Copies of this chain bind each other. A is one copy, B any other.
Amino acid sequence: MADGHQGITPQREDFSAWYNELVAKAGLVDRGPVRGTMVIRPYGFRIWELLQADLDQRIKATGHQNAYFPLLIPEGHLRREAEHIEGFAPELAVVTHAGGKDLDEPLVIRPTSETIVGEMMAKWISSHRDLPMLLNQWSNVVRWELRPRMFLRTTEFLWQEGHTAHADADDAMAETMLALGLYQDVAVQTAAMASIAGEKTESERFAGAQRTFTIEAMMRDGRALQAGTSHFMGANFATAFGIQYTANDGELKFCNTTSWGMSSRMIGGLIMTHGDDRGLILPSALAPYQVVIVPIGRGDQVQDVLAAAAGLASQLDAAGIRAHVDDRSQLSPGFKFNDWELRGAPMRLELGPRDLAAGTAVLARRLGDGKESIQLSTAPQRLTEELAAFQDLLLARATEFRDSHTVTVDTWPDFVTAVAQGWARALHCGQRSCEDDIKAETTATPRCIPLDGKPESGLCVRCGLPSAYGKRLIFGRAY
């Protein structure tokens, strides 16, 4: 067992302290001067850029186009959808003064953009030929946060929000599921998170949605993180904003709309899915530097080794590998090894005069077996394979962790034990009061009704009434 490595509290001692110390010490993030805000430092922002590029490509490949809607929304716009304003009112930041004057109507900083997108869609859509309208925007949003936590809950965060309008409910539901599938693909394939996809129960629906779907991932303390959500609005927002079209037969109809979002909170999810007591562990697909080369040597040897390291980095770059030479002259190799372990680089190559003479380098992986000598001549191909294997290893490890911490339970004592260390698969009656009761007793909530759950009926694990969903729910404590 690691114990206080890198000057960071071990996970088992205090997972929360481990996280807070690590995000700062690894140079991902810093606190902004305004409560709950964060500064994303270059190393953290590069992870976001890589995630963003991956998701953006998937969004565009499925026919969506990016656009940009204003940050400031008249407060009255939010009031047009009753549940929406009720849900967001407590979190709003309000501009009351601008350009040297008090404003006639207060403006809110967008907490999400359904209302302003709704107003514009009402203007842009008139015929069935304008449908579906498939938009996405990358933006910052503000939701006042009383218990901030870097990446997970911050007053301002970065995200993408998809907004689409459709001719009917079937088409909008298909879109809702398509977006959920994109998120599941990003989480599993790119972030190596063993997330599961499912529907939220009524209590956790988005304010104004008819149905909300989610992907939920398990963190290494057994808690769940909601990593992306997709909402089917029905005609709620279309009615509130007048998003109508003339159908083929000349009839005027309301659209059905969707919205869906994934945010910078994913970076927190990555950290808590893969990290260990030695620091971050970044999947190959999202590591700013996939391979860090540490040159070793003194005196006269330094220049030769540095030149060889730079040459190797160029070869790796040419093979599509993000390589970095740590050429900080004032730091020892040992310090650098610790530093890149802390910062989660998947692979480290040590290159010294003896290695050079032998045409080799020493490879150390961030997880798994110890050091190994590899041939420089085949390094690009070898590292391409190693990085793919590392990505697979992280997903397998996350899946194994999730599965070994998920228990199918039919009794209340088993439920309590299960959610204390992970997730419970249990039947539930569907009553809000029973959900509240479970939460009060265990702090666990229904995370989702899994899409792939088998049909099953029986009695509620808590109250004994008949189960309501035709399958088991996932319960867990959540971030």
Closest to A115 in B: B33
Give complex CA distance A71, B36 in Å. 12
CB-defined contacts of A140 to chain B, threshold 8 Å: 71, 139-140
A42 proximal to B (CB < 8 A): yes
Given contacts A39-B68, A66-B42, contact A33 B73 (CB under 8 A): yes
Question: Are the CB atoms of A93 and B72 closer together than 8 Å?
Answer: yes
Contacts of A401 in B (CB 8 A): none
Q: Is A469 positioned at the interface, with any CB of B under 8 Å from its CB?
A: no
Contacts of A334 in B (CB 8 A): none
Tell me which of A84-92, A314-322, A456-464, A470-478 binds B.
A84-92
Q: Is the CB of A66 within 8 A of B46?
A: yes
CB contacts (< 8 Å) of A357 on chain B: these are none
CB A35 to nearest CB in B, in angstroms, measures 9
Cα distance A95–B72 when bound, in Å? 11
Residue contact A71 to B156, C-beta cutoff 8 Å:
yes
Docked complex Cα distance between A109 and B34 (Å): 12
Report whether A69 and B39 are in contact in the complex, using a CB–CB cutoff of 8 Å: yes
- Chain B residues with Cβ below 8 Å from A37 are 70-72
B94 & A68 in contact (Cβ 8 Å cutoff): no
Q: What is the bound-complex CA distance between A158 and B137, given in angstroms?
A: 13
Q: Assuming A32-B69, A67-B39, is B93 touching A98 (CB within 8 A)?
A: yes
For the complex, give the distance between the alpha carbons of A124 and B107 in Å: 35
Is A119 close to B, CB under 8 A? yes
Interface pair A142/B67, CB less than 8 Å apart: no
**Does A417 sit at the interface, judged by CB under 8 A?**
no
A144 within 8 A of B: yes
Q: Using an 8 Å CB-CB cutoff, how does the interface string of A71-89 with B read, 1 for contact, 0 for none?
A: 1111001000000000001
CB of A12 within 8 A of chain B?
A: no
Does A129 sit at the interface, judged by CB under 8 A?
A: yes
In this assembly, does A100 line the interface, its C-beta being within 8 Å of a C-beta of chain B? yes
User: B residues within 8 A CB of A116?
Assistant: 32-33, 39
* Residues from chain B with Cβ under 8 Å of A96 in the complex: 94-97
Nearest 6 A-B pairs (CB), nearest first? A99-B144, A42-B65, A37-B70, A32-B70, A40-B68, A93-B98
Q: Which A positions have Cβ atoms within 8 angstroms of B?
A: 30, 32-34, 37-42, 45-46, 48-49, 65-74, 77, 89-100, 106-107, 109, 116, 119-120, 123-124, 129, 135, 139-140, 142, 144-146, 155-156, 158, 328, 330
Excluding A42-B135, A95-B96, 18 further A-B contacts by CB distance (< 8 Å) are: A32-B69, A32-B70, A33-B70, A33-B73, A39-B70, A40-B67, A41-B67, A46-B65, A72-B155, A91-B99, A92-B99, A96-B96, A99-B144, A99-B146, A100-B144, A109-B109, A129-B328, A139-B140
14 residue pairs A–B, Cβ–Cβ below 8 Å = A30-B123, A34-B70, A37-B71, A37-B72, A42-B66, A42-B135, A70-B156, A71-B71, A90-B99, A93-B95, A93-B99, A96-B97, A109-B109, A139-B140
